[in-house]
Amino acid sequence: MLHRAIVRPPSENFADGLTTVDLGAPDFGMALEQHERYCEALVTCGLELTRLRPDPLYPDSTFVEDTALMLPKSAILTRPGAPSRDGEIVEMESVLQGFFPSLRRIQPPGTVDGGDICDAGPHWFIGVSARTNEEGARQLTGILAEAGFTSSRVDIRGVAGILHLKSGIAHVSDRKLVVIDSLAADPAFESWEIVPVDAGEEYAANCVSVNGRLLFPKGFPRLEARLRTLGERPLVLDMSEFQKMDGGLSCLSLRF
């Protein structure tokens, strides 16, 4: 059961953030509106929100997920792999200290973006990417093992079209994972039940399970229907402006 989420609305210079997609510049007003609907959806799922102030020093800082990893009784402060984002952890550290007496940290030269880390209950998937390096993955594997979690690595460096591991997979429930075709053959997913994603709907692989509901992006009807058939209850949200900045539903909150 999740109780709380940390969120941060986009700042007015949100469009100055990093992006690898060619979908045009985001509209700030629409992004704020979509963020507000996202917050309402989290509340609908029973979460209490900690809302941080927008931070124009870091145009990507609305994507709070990349700065920390939440364990049942503690948190791990990451070291984001993009130099323009590494200062985002400073404020997050003091926010998390308000909830947890001690924090674990990824140490240099390790880098980890939260978007590369998929928590699937007792097992975690660690994406090695342009943002999360081998050393960061090694440190995280150790911290997770100490906390009683198993983990496996998925190297996404050769996989086109995804920034983070969770751009292409999501843990839906039990042993069920949504996985895009280009990752489905990875040995890490061998013993898992895979929900496939049709060509053209890859963005929707980034969906988020919260207390029996599934936050799901608007505009991907085939995967939405497939998940409904499997008994999932999607709560559909327009993410168009965040998609333009390489962001998905999971990136916009830290849930615990």
Q: Return the active site residues.
A: 164, 251
Does 186 bind ligand CIR (CB under 6 A)? Our answer is no
Only segment of 16-24, 149-157, 181-189, 221-229 that touches ligand CIR (CB under 6 A): 16-24
User: Which residues, in sequence order, are CB contacts of 102 under 8 Å at separation 6+?
Assistant: 74
> Applying CB under 6 A, does 14 fall inside the site for ligand CIR?
no
Asked whether position 245 contacts ligand CIR by CB under 6 A, the answer is yes
Residues in the chain: 256
Least distance (Å) between residue 193 CB and ligand CIR: 24
Nearer to ligand CIR, 139 or 167 (CB): 167
136 binds ligand CIR, rule: CB under 6 A: no
* Member of 9, 17, 110, 136 binding ligand CIR (CB under 6 A): 17
φ, ψ for residue 10, nearest 5 deg: -65, 150
Of 50, 68, 49, 60, the C-alpha closest to 10 is 60
The Cβ of residue 34 has, within 10 Å, a number of other Cβ atoms equal to 22
Residue 240 to residues 49, 63, 169, 247: CA-CA distances in angstroms? 23, 15, 19, 9
Distances (CA, A) of 223 to 118, 126, 128, 140, 199: 19, 24, 26, 31, 10
CB of 117: closest distance to ligand CIR in angstroms? Answer: 9
Work out whether 19 is an interface residue with ligand CIR (CB under 6 A). Answer: yes
Comparing CB distances to ligand CIR, the nearer of 17 and 234 is: 17
Q: Which stretch binds ligand CIR (CB under 6 A): 12-20, 133-141, 154-162, 209-217?
A: 12-20
**Bridge partners of residue 4, in order along the sequence:** 48
Tokens (6 digits) for 87 = 């200062």
Among residues 5, 247, 253, 254, the one that binds ligand CIR under rule CB under 6 A? 247
- Closest CB 227 distance from ligand CIR, rounded Å: 20
**In the bound complex, what is the minimum distance in angstroms from residue 231's beta carbon to ligand CIR?**
26
C-beta of 91 vs 246, nearer to ligand CIR = 246
Helix, strand, coil proportions of the chain in percent (round to 5)?
A: 30, 25, 45
Does residue 132 contact residue 111 with C-beta atoms inside 8 Å?
A: yes
CA distances from 177 to 38, 57, 117, 197, 222 (A): 22, 36, 14, 11, 16
Cis peptide before 109 (omega within 30 of 0): yes
Which of 10, 115, 136, 234 lies at the binding interface for ligand CIR (CB under 6 A)? 115
| Range 56-65 burial, b when 16+ CB lie within 10 A, else e | eebbbbbbbb
The size of the interface with ligand CIR (CB under 6 A), counted in residues, is 19
Judged by CB under 6 A, the stretch of 33-41, 57-65, 68-76, 175-183 that binds ligand CIR is 57-65
- CB under 6 A: which stretch of 59-67, 94-102, 133-141, 186-194 binds ligand CIR? 59-67
Contact positions toward ligand CIR, by CB under 6 A? 17-19, 60, 63, 65-66, 82, 85, 114-115, 163-164, 245-248, 250-251
